[in-house]
Structure 1
Amino acid sequence: MAITMTVHGAARTVTGSCYLIETDRCKFLVDCGMFQGAKTLKELNYEPFPFEPGDIDFVLLTHAHIDHSGLIPKLAKHGFSGPVHATRGTIDLLGSMLPDAGHIQEVEVEELNRRNARRGRPAVTPIYTASDAEDCLRLMKPVTYDGWFEPAEDVCARYWNAGHILGSASIEIEIDAGSAAPRRLRLLFSGDIGPDAQTFHAAPESPENLDYLICETTYGGRTRERLTHDDRLGILAKEVTDAFKDRGALIIPAFAVERTQELLADLVELVNSGAVPRVPIFLDSPLAIRATQAFIDHADELENGDAFRKAMATPLLRTTETPTESMGIERMEGNHIVIAASGMCDAGRIRHHLKNHLWRQNSTVLLVGYQAQGTLGQILADGAKAVRIQGEEIRVRARIRQTDIYSGHADGPALVEWVRQRSPVKRAILLTHGEDAGLEAMHKALSDLGLDGERIIEPTLDDIFDLMTELPGPRLRPGPRRLRAEEVGRFDWHNDFSKLWLDISEELDRAADDRAKNALIRRLRHALEERERR
């Protein structure tokens, strides 16, 4: 029997998780996520899938984060008829997350089309709408942890707690290889692996003795200090009190699922203990509001769930569902906290708050999650003096702070130990869901453990692997590669153009007078004319 796997996402980048498994009897996906980051990467979301959606028999979904689930509505819109297997916690989160993703696309495309009309550019359409997302929810089929099930005649699967977010899983798969192999082929997809100690989840679990391990490397090579709960509260308390100097506001871009709920629980605990002032805490994200309710509904399944349920009853927490309520926060003066999505500042209401606060010297922006290359969050973290948000130039005078004490991912040493515990891996370990530095560090760390370096593979986008060979080297699928390796997980020309625009604007501001400004413009125009003559 022929069994192949094609890596259609999360290859040398941390987003777009999507793996296509093909046997003689079926085709299925593990994850179907949205690309995030630089525009070159995000444009892949608008392109046709590199496979026929109607040919896919089922999807095995690791968890609800949009970079793992966000293109399922598009898949269904273009011919996939299901099912999508996921844990009950994941399905409950997707009931809010996918329609929210569709709504955001509709709103952003509407704004973009207004700008395009003024520029004489053609209109674009959303990848999918909120209605499309609602329609695909009927395809969801719940599974439990630790129990085998058969999504197809020659395929068995089992979900293991990954300790990442509510409902997250690593997925163990066994495929009947027929007479070509003495036993079933065993694969494990890590999904996103959580740290050993989290507010809401037990440590991750999964099996050993595998043929293939497909492992995330988000924090490969990074080591975080091991912190107790009290240590974490102390760090957050200092960030809050420092932000409140000069009657400043604290703006926190946060992923709507898990990160927001952890932050809320800790902030309420700090307020109740008197460690920080009693100030309004605005949760300005309809998705995060609904996700928080899902956590309350699943509190009995979570570590510290009862305490979380009680904390969410605080009168300090103010939820803003409507755009009008969100805009009203702008009139707030003095100390207050705003938590809004998205965590990498690339979409959602957080951009409105950044436009309102980045230019204020007494405001603080606290980044608490992973910032992928090319995202606004990463640009701010790198110390940009100015940024462009929705076509508008904003000077950055606010304090930009960053902490990873709320990371939902295992760090480098924890990932290496997790892989070690999965041993032996007989054929190959594929390192995915990471950028170059993390991939290289993880490869070296695993080699230092004594693992065969030739069996540690770093796929590039659209690589295809023959899983029936003893040592599966990648080969390119038929047709052109969607992006070259050097175009994935890096700043692209859109980022460079935005920076150039800001640099030109800054130089014009520095020019002594109109004569100096005109001289600079003439030099720029001359450079363009020289290019045209060549």
Structure 2
Amino acid sequence: MKITFIGGAQSVTGSCYLFELEEKKFLVDCGMFQGGLTEELLNYESFPFNPSEIEFVILSHAHIDHSGRIPKLYKDGFRGVIFATDATMDLCSIMLPDSAHIQENEIEWKNRKRKREGKEQLLPLYTLEDAENVLKHFRGVKYGQKIQIDKNLSFIFKDAGHMLGSAIVELYIKENDKEYKLVFSGDLGNRNVPILKDPAIIDGCDYLFIESTYGNRLHVDVENKSKKLIDIISTTISNGGKVIIPSFAVGRTQEILYEIAKEISTDSAEAKIIRNVEIFVDSPLATSATTIYKKHIDYFDAEAAMFIKNGIYPLEPPNLKFIKSVDESKWLNEYDKSCIIISSSGMCEAGRIKHHLKHNLWNEKNTVLFVGYQAPNTLGRKILDGQKKVKIFGEEVEVKAKIEYIEAYSGHADKGGLFSWIEQMSEKPKKIFVVHGEKEVQLEFAKELQNQFNTDVIVPARGEMYEIAPEYVAPSERLFSELPPFINLSVLAQIEEIEYELDRLKEGIKNSTISSERLFALNSNLEELRYLLSLVLNDY
């Protein structure tokens, strides 16, 4: 059997793994690359295989970095089955059309500008019709249900504890009358998180593919994350400010609502403060997702189930309002009272959160609270890294609001959680593949895994192919080269960053905020840059 790492290899997004077993081809996940321009352009690359030859997709969970290119797969010829848990299937029924809507809107905006410039019109990555059509190919699977593809291939889903319906994939392969087992952790959740059950413990496996988002660090102050959340909210409200929470519409938003509802049900001083302000969820997707959560309360953990048994639905505090229309969202930008605004996207790259940041970042009374991972090059990462000014919708906005981050709300297990999960396996893997993480993190994590479990650890790069058999793993020829396309994309991304910095520089020169000494130094550097550019351009 051969496996090729299409995405989620030395990167946190774009998870996609191609399997070739005899004449059969299938995928585990088919996610979208997220981040800056480089990642955006990667989504438009042709698949390095014929989508019509893919028989089926095993989807670990609904997050767009794992599911987001499935409509493109359909658009390019795929007509097979997508296996997913029932909850994942229901969540994809809202998330994939939402993603398509974003693709169409962004291309429409770009095309208006391109039309004015006399440039060729662009096509969206996929359309709403593509997303709706591919949903007909989903098949719901229960946790623990064995799906027998043929005599040599079967799989089982186990609860990953990452989001509603998220799954660990146990893949059973038979070759030359020998059976071996591969396990994909998917995105592995933390223990003791709101609403969700803990990740399932796996008996063991021959080969493990493990995510590594937080593979080199521990979540800080996990035991006090709920208290910290409530303290940040109540303090900001007491000071007359707003709390803006960029949050993933599915998973994180429901966790935050749960924590707030849980606090409000008490008689604490903080509860009284929070009860007196409006809580707005400004995300149609989050609104729909919360409805889907109601449908799948059998996935809830014991504490959440107890709330429901006592007649309390823990995802809808009494002072909650779901914002649905665009007009309501615009009205919220003019709302002048203290409040809590939860809006997507979680990394601030698209959606209504960008409007709320534009209208609230400049006010020092407000707090922007991050409760999830921020990928490199995203607007959220720039704010979190302390950038004093950011560009939103072409306008420079000063960052004066207080910036907070509760890393412990991450849906990903930290280094300790990942190690503990492997330690509890009765049979340790012969080899471990480290996937879904930033390269530096993966290398550090891999070294510690090797030391701890005395086993070979591989950190595959995008495009690398491996031959896997019951007795061995061996590198094979690359299915596609990472270079030069990736270098092209990287250069484009860096040019985009330089253009942004040049815009800031122009404003500084116009407003005379740059000293004469710095201007002389800048002039010299620009002359050198111009010379270097001329050398490159002379080659064309």
TM-score over 0.5 (shorter chain): yes
Match for residue 404 of structure 1?
407
Shift of 1:507: 3.3
Unaligned runs of 5+ in 2: 536-540
What is the aligned partner in structure 2 of residue 97 from structure 1? Answer: 95
Q: Report the 3-state secondary structure (helix = DSSP H, G, I; strand = E; otherwise coil) of the residue aligned with 2:3.
A: strand
CA separation in 2, counterparts of 1:484 and 1:465?
Answer: 22
What are the within-5 Å matches in structure 2 for residues 131-210 of structure 1? 131-177=129-175, 179=176, 182-210=177-205
The answer to whether the aligner puts 1:243 opposite 2:241 as a matched pair is no
Distance verdict in 2 for CA 1:521–1:110, change over 3 Å = farther
Question: How far apart are residue 503 of structure 1 and its match?
Answer: 4.3
Alignment partner for residue 294 of structure 1, among 292, 295, 310?
Answer: 292
TM-fit CA distance, 1:301: 3.0
Q: Which moved more, 1:399-408 or 1:56-65?
A: 399-408
1:24-423 aligned within 5 A: 24-177=22-175, 179=176, 182-225=177-220, 227-228=222-223, 231-273=224-266, 274-275=269-270, 276-277=273-274, 278-303=276-301, 304-305=304-305, 307=307, 310-422=313-425
2: CA distance between counterparts of 1:72 and 1:461? 18
Distance (whole Å) between structure 1 residues aligned to residue 28 and residue 231 of structure 2: 41
Residue by residue over 1:373-394, the C-alpha shift from the partner in whole angstroms, topping out at 9 and shown as x without a partner, is: 1111111111011112233322
**Structure-2 separation of matches of 1:425 and 1:490:** 42
Q: 1:80 Cα deviation (Å)?
A: 0.8
- Cα deviation digits, residues 101-160 of structure 1 (max 9, x gap): 111111111112223333444322111122211111110001111121112442111111
Distance 1:514 1:250, change over 3 A: same
Q: Deviations over 1:223-272 (max 9, x none)?
A: 124644xx333111211123225421111000111100010111223334
CA pair 522-305 structure 1, distance change in 2 beyond 3 A? same
Q: Tell me how far 1:209 sits from its aligned partner.
A: 3.5
Distance 1:195 1:512 in 2: 47
Question: Can you list the C-alpha shifts for 1:191-224, whole angstroms capped at 9, x where unaligned?
Answer: 0111111112222114334221111001101112
Contact 1:296–1:305 (Cα < 8 Å) also in 2: no
Listed one character per residue, the Cα deviations across residues 49-87 of structure 1 (whole Å, up to 9, x for unaligned) are 111100000011100111111111111111111210011
Secondary structure in 2 matching 1:74: helix
Residue 515 (structure 1) shift? 9.6
Q: Does residue 456 of structure 2 align to residue 463 of structure 1?
A: no
**Partner residue, 2:508:** 507
CA 483–218 in structure 1, closer or farther in 2 if over 3 Å, else same = farther
2:449 aligned to 446, 451, 462, which one? 446
Letter in 2 for 1:436: K
Summarize the Cα distance change of 1:360–1:470 in structure 2 as closer, same or farther, 3 Å threshold.
same
8 Å Cα contact 1:330-1:356 kept in structure 2: yes
Distance 2:159 2:220 in 1: 24
Are the equivalent residues in 2 in contact too, given 1:38–1:489 (CA < 8 A)?
no
Cα shift at 1:505: 4.0
1:328 maps to a residue whose letter is W
**More displaced stretch, 241-250 vs 371-380:** 241-250
Per the TM alignment, residue 296 of structure 1 is displaced from its structure 2 partner at its CA by: 1.4
Instruction: Report what 2:494 is aligned to.
Output: 493
Q: Distance in 2 between matches of 1:121 and 1:395?
A: 33
What residue identity is the alignment partner of 2:341?
Answer: V
SS of the equivalent of 1:418 reads: helix
Residue ranges of structure 1 left out of the alignment (5+ in a row): none
State the identity as a percent: 37
Q: Is the 8 Å Cα contact of residues 387 and 502 (structure 1) preserved in structure 2?
A: no
CA contact (8 A) 1:196 1:204 kept: yes
Deviation of 1:405 (Å): 2.5
Alpha-carbon separation, structure 1, partners of 2:480 and 2:42: 16
CA distance in 2: counterparts of 1:532 and 1:134, whole angstroms: 46
C-alpha RMSD over aligned residues: 2.7
